[in-house]
Amino acid sequence: MGKEIAKLPSPLAEKYRATAKLDALRAAEYARLDAGGHVYLDYTGGGLYAEAQLRAHLELLRTHVFGNPHSSNPTSQAMTDLVEGARAYILKFFNADPNEYCAIFTQNASGALKLVGEAYPFEPNDRYLLTFDNHNSVNGVREFARARGAHVTYVPVLLPDMRLDQSALREELERPRVKGNNLFAFPAQSNFSGVQHPLEFVEWAHARGWDVLLDAAAFTPTNRLDLGQVKPEFVTQSFYKVFGYPTGVGALIAKRETLKKLHRPWFAGGTITVASVQGDKYYLSEGEAAFEDGTLNYLNIPAVEIGLRHIDAIGYAAIHERVTLLTQFLLDGLNALHHSNGATLVRVYGPLDTQQRGGTVTMNFYDAHGRAMDHREIERRANAQNISLRTGCFCNPGGGEIALGITGTELSQCFRQPGHEARFTIDDFRMCVDGKSSGAVRVSVGLVSNLADVETFLEFAASLVA
């Protein structure tokens, strides 16, 4: 490790050494990474869990009898206590006032987004404003908005940094539907470019009469989100992205007051106080219960609290610092790579420094004649070296279209081709944007990434130099 740190410029080396506890943690709790020779660079896809999380969860399950929560029998009550404890811990973790916010358990961030989309009271001429840079599960909310006659507007991001066009955003925010329902959605961090969009947008939007949906899924793995400071109406979250285990649990953290104006499209077991067959009537529960359909993933929910406590014990300061340093090292290393004729090897989509950006770095590789190399081929080669990275557009088509220069006109032409009214495969898409890359390569560093991981990737990238 000392040898690797020597590669860092000395102020960075000093800072890196200050995060050495993460190396000890990796050795003790994530030994399977190095034992298996893994170079894991897909933290934006999914976080990794510590063995201690598994031990603690298993011990809990092994030593208790748990029944379906929300009954008064002893096994049910024991489970209810843990579920409610985890719910309270989530709010504490995000410094959310329990009188102001509640935590609704969902399957994942997408489940949380769907809850908002289907229940937000969009009416004709209301507005759904969102950034080009969004995960598809945020884009998908537009279908609910449109179906109810609301206007959907996208605010572009600008090359080369892929930051939001702030003047376009201000212009749109100035035009809410007066006395209407106006929802603005953006990601705290892009899962495409790693850009961290300013959280001040939340207040800008509030001041102009908008509700705000903040997608925190790519942000919270390496950054503290403080809901005592930033107060969006809705925050969406997948816990496996933060601490790897368990999958299948996410949360919608929502303002209690705003929940009152949502209209759920149905009722289900658990969401009502009373429902009657003969009386043909139902009464929705208050608060979080109204949004949790059927039986929760209750045995896994205590593992969420275990995971959050794990992050708390490490501290975001160290995680954030480590990720920032590695990201800088990665960006500098990639930028320094050129073909022997001087041509650029790598084009990074997004900021080249670590100001307001996270540890997600997306790029394409170019040959010595400036032709894009197929990202699928890059992935195949990386796979062969046990490097886990991700290629494609990462469910963020707006980010991809801007980065790759694919225009709306081109896309409309593609989608209008005969035979493509209802079906369009990824291969059809590739054929249609022939000549342009249809995707990119994404590497992302996280909780227990180290310099050796980044070094290995840079060596891999250097092997593509001609």
Ligand X SMILES: Cc1ncc(COP(=O)(O)O)c(C=O)c1O
Interface residues with ligand X (CB under 6 A)?
44, 108-110, 135, 137, 187, 191, 215, 217-218, 238
Phi first, then psi: what are they for 104, rounded to 5°? -105, 125
State the minimum distance, in angstroms, from the CB of residue 137 to ligand X: 5
Phi first, then psi: what are they for 13, rounded to 5°? -60, -40
Which tokens sit at 107? 């399957």
- Select 187 or 439, whichever has its Cβ closest to ligand X: 187
State the minimum distance, in angstroms, from the CB of residue 44 to ligand X: 6
The structure tokens 């007066």 sit at: 178
- Select 53 or 110, whichever has its Cβ closest to ligand X: 110
Instruction: Count the Cβ atoms, other than its own, within 10 Å of residue 34.
Output: 14
| CB within 8 Å of 389: residues ≥ 6 apart | 41, 42, 379, 382, 441, 442, 443, 457
Cα–Cα nearest to 141, from 161, 121, 114: 114
State the minimum distance, in angstroms, from the CB of residue 189 to ligand X: 7
Is 432 marked active-site? no
Cα–Cα nearest to 386, from 41, 32, 37: 37
H/E element holding 275? strand 272-276
- Select 238 or 354, whichever has its Cβ closest to ligand X: 238
Phi first, then psi: what are they for 77, rounded to 5°? -65, -40
User: How far is residue 315's CA from residue 224's CA, in Å, rounded to a whole number?
Assistant: 9
The structure tokens 């843990």 sit at: 82
Cα–Cα nearest to 132, from 181, 197, 177: 197
State the minimum distance, in angstroms, from the CB of residue 227 to ligand X: 18
State the minimum distance, in angstroms, from the CB of residue 190 to ligand X: 7
State the minimum distance, in angstroms, from the CB of residue 191 to ligand X: 3
User: How far is residue 463's CA from residue 466's CA, in Å, rounded to a whole number?
Assistant: 8
Helices H, strands E: what count in the chain?
20, 17
State the minimum distance, in angstroms, from the CB of residue 394 to ligand X: 7
- The residue length of the chain stands at 466
Which one of 102, 393, 395, 414 is the catalytic residue?
395
Classify burial at 302, counting beta carbons within 10 Å of its beta carbon; exposed 0-12, middle 13-18, buried 19 or more. Answer: buried
Torsion, CA 310, CA 106, CA 141, CA 262, rounded to 10: -120
- Select 239 or 366, whichever has its Cβ closest to ligand X: 239
Which tokens sit at 77? 């009550």
H/E element holding 411? helix 408-416
Question: Which residues are known to be catalytic?
Answer: 395
